[in-house]
Structure 1
Amino acid sequence: MSTYGKIFRVTTYGESHCASVGAIIDGCPPRDEKDLVHLQSGTERGVTLGTPIGLLVKNEDQRPHDYSETDLYPRPSHADYTYLEKYGIKASSGGGRSSARETIGLLGSFFPLRSYALRLSKPGRVAAGAIAEKYLKLAYGIEIVAFVSSVGKIHLPSFVTSPSGEDDDEAQDALSEEFRHLIKTITREEVDKFSTRCPHPETSERMTQRIIRAKDAQDSIGGTVTCVIRNVPSGLGEPVFDKFEARLAHAMLSIPATKAFEIGSGFKGTEVPGSKHNDAFVRRADGKLGTVTNWSGGIQGGITNGEDIYFRIGFKSPATISQGQKTAQYDGTPGELAARGRHDPCVVPRAVPIVEAMAAIVVLDQLLIQNSRKTAANLLPVLTGLPPSMVQPKSPGV
């Protein structure tokens, strides 16, 4: 399927080297916005109309001749073979719908999501995400910041906790205090100071050198992106199959080259006993309940609890490398494939705004669903005779 979302819906189209790629965005609340891409519908005089928004981005730099080897070979770790198996036919050049170029429909520079979004028009998902994010910021003050947390085996030091003993009772906290502080304070301005999008000078330099080594060796390397979403209202998520983290995972794993997703304390939380991992409740300054540690990553029972939502996505090493690779042709004949064309030694820094955009799309869709639920509930008589813990007071919205 090429559509994501239930109320705020995004449908992308186009292959990696066709004439254009783009998106249809439906369910967008009307709003005054700037026109920085080819708008086909849904706006008039700089104002969104509430009708489907059509976005088109032309593939000005097509190089289908760089992919003639795919006539004979399914490229290792690419989707050439699986697309052919599923549909019985595939695009003749590039990665088709599996290419990162598809993501322009979700991350083109419709609004200035961040200063470098314009430079990512080919591989990014900025358009729909930027629309969603601007609405979230204006209506709810929601902030979304992603950053590179690892490249290869080089990790941000804030992810490292003190070594624990063999006894579970001696286990350390699931995540370090330094990491928790980073999640609460990191800004896009800090992230954008570094070409690697890693907000730590020494680690960023080590990552740069690792990427250069991969490039010099005509090879590639993967890594992880961490994202935090702040000021999300409590109550979002649709258990049981559309829990908030399930929708996040669905969205993030739809991004090309992703291989892993974890939320909150993630896999590290499996090493910590419940006595250290449980999120105790406290009363916050605004009078609402909050948690002490937020190991849950802002989600409990599949529903947001008002705390910061944070998660991490793993991106594999790019499959296209300039080294000759021993493989097989479509008919099974052994051979060697030498790739041509443009190859990124590491896609992780470029994935940062893609992750932010997909996060914005998920949050807006879930907000619209919850608002529709509350609007419907507010039309009913007030429930009486029930304990206060069972019923939330009526409100005009989330």
Structure 2
Amino acid sequence: MGSTYGKIFRISTFGESHGAGIGVVIDGCPSGLDFDPDFIQSELTRRKPGQSRITTQRREADEFEVLSGVFEGKTTGTPIALIIRNEDQRSKDYAHIAAQFRPSHADYTYQIKYGIRDYRGGGRSSARETAARVAAGAIAKTLLKSLGVTVQAYVSQVGNLKLQQEYGTLDLSQTENNDVRCPDPMMAQQMFDYIDGIRKQGDSVGGVVSCVIKGTPAGWGEPVFDKMHAELGKAMLSINAVKGFEYGSGFDGVALLGSQHNDAFFKDEAGSVHTRTNHSGGIQGGISNGEDIYFRVAFKPVATIMQDQESVDQNGNVAIVQGKGRHDPCVVPRAVPIVEAMAAIVLADFYLRNKASKI
């Protein structure tokens, strides 16, 4: 019922923001894969709260426990279960909205759908659920790394502050060297100062995370309904606060003529087929063509702001929702590892589906 993703490399997440913990069950992971707990923990640390003053100050170590599926440092081919215990819940911060619907949150829709909702931090609708995805994504990344495939995301826009360079001209190794996760140091500082100013106003701001996948061989993906870009879009749009997804030339491509947009093929000196341009974003007909896969994900401003907002309560009465609790003024710095994780899960699934389709 909406908590499982994937066909062969399949993940099911569970848990709520203020419950005992959150976790994930990963089914379909091949046996014999190296299980690197330090790498998984490092990925969770990139996503965890409290990293700087421009992120939520909730303090969670986000340390995980392995419940099954691993033996002597290797995956066994059976379901891998990981759990992350919640440690710094402050449920009292949400008592005031127990009967109120916060603007642009899932409070109202969850109440209508289920007739009940966990108002503490949004319960299941909280972005805290994404920690489970990051843990699963780390295992998917390990599988992809063994195949020579890498996934790298970075912040390319905050509000109106936007990187103008193409990803190929950026030094993406600089992404983790600042709190915003923007590979351009000067732009990163401008973004940080802007987010910090928004935070002091009790407001929030949105942004864009760009992602580049290198090393994907030609032939991964499926036709018609399960196209690779369709699955990437679904995976990205399933992340909290995401409002848009585009790959390759995206919306800017409509301004080009066909003669400008077409990616001409050629054979290099080694005999491999490539394209001279990559407006297709590495995907044609829903199947990878061997070029870099690149896409962009738009995140809205965080819905919880430290300002009073007009709304209604469960009885339809006018209510003033007061901003309380600990929240990110801009979600994109912590969203970078989430975008990478979901992209890795999609690619790992397609790799296994491609293997299964061949004799």
Per the normalisation by structure 2, the TM-score is: 0.90
For 1:6 and 1:186, the matched residues in 2 are separated by 35
Residues 285 and 349 of structure 1, relative CA distance in 2, 3 Å threshold: farther
State the partner residue of 1:33: 35
Question: Do the aligned residues in 1 keep the contact of 2:107 with 2:119 (CA within 8 Å)?
Answer: no
State the partner residue of 2:128: 101
The higher radius of gyration belongs to 1
Shift of 1:34: 3.4
1:232 to 203, 216, 234: 216
Size of the aligned set, in residue pairs, is: 332
How much is the aligned-residue C-alpha RMSD, in angstroms? 1.2
Question: Do the aligned residues in 1 keep the contact of 2:241 with 2:299 (CA within 8 Å)?
Answer: yes
Question: Do the aligned residues in 2 keep the contact of 1:297 with 1:311 (CA within 8 Å)?
Answer: yes
State the partner residue of 2:331: 347
| CA deviation profile, 1:290-340 (whole Å, cap 9, x unmatched) | 111100000011111000000000000000111111222122211211121
Task: Pick which of 305-314 and 321-330 moved more.
Answer: 321-330
Residues 294 and 53 of structure 1, relative CA distance in 2, 3 Å threshold: same
State the partner residue of 1:77: 104
For 2:222 and 2:274, the matched residues in 1 are separated by 21
For 1:276 and 1:201, the matched residues in 2 are separated by 33
Question: Do the aligned residues in 1 keep the contact of 2:308 with 2:320 (CA within 8 Å)?
Answer: yes
State the partner residue of 2:152: 145
The 5 Å alignment of 1:7-46 reads 7-30=8-31, 31-35=33-37, 37-46=64-73
For 1:243 and 1:101, the matched residues in 2 are separated by 29
State the partner residue of 2:340: 356
Shift of 1:286: 3.5
Question: Do the aligned residues in 1 keep the contact of 2:97 with 2:321 (CA within 8 Å)?
Answer: no
State the partner residue of 2:190: 206
Question: Do the aligned residues in 2 keep the contact of 1:69 with 1:339 (CA within 8 Å)?
Answer: no
State the partner residue of 2:142: 134
For 2:140 and 2:24, the matched residues in 1 are separated by 14
| Counterpart AA for 2:152 | V
Shift of 1:72: 2.0
Gaps of 5+ in 2: 42-63
State the partner residue of 2:5: 4
State the partner residue of 1:49: 76
Shift of 1:180: 5.2
Question: Do the aligned residues in 2 keep the contact of 1:328 with 1:334 (CA within 8 Å)?
Answer: yes
| Counterpart AA for 2:206 | G
Which stretches of structure 1, 4 residues or more, deviate above 6 A after TM superposition? none
The 5 Å alignment of 1:105-254 reads 105-107=132-134, 127-138=135-146, 140-158=147-165, 179=166, 181-182=168-169, 186-187=171-172, 189-254=173-238
| Counterpart AA for 1:98 | S
Per the normalisation by structure 1, the TM-score is: 0.81
User: What SS is found at the alignment partner of 1:149?
Assistant: strand
State the partner residue of 1:112: none
| Counterpart AA for 1:33 | F
State the partner residue of 2:259: 275
User: What SS is found at the alignment partner of 1:361?
Assistant: helix
User: What SS is found at the alignment partner of 2:311?
Assistant: strand
Shift of 1:274: 1.0
Residues 129 and 180 of structure 1, relative CA distance in 2, 3 Å threshold: closer
State the partner residue of 1:331: 315
| CA deviation profile, 1:173-195 (whole Å, cap 9, x unmatched) | xxxxxx1523xx643x3111121
For 1:337 and 1:92, the matched residues in 2 are separated by 13
For 1:24 and 1:101, the matched residues in 2 are separated by 16
Question: Do the aligned residues in 2 keep the contact of 1:145 with 1:186 (CA within 8 Å)?
Answer: no
Question: In percent, how many aligned pairs have the same letter?
Answer: 52
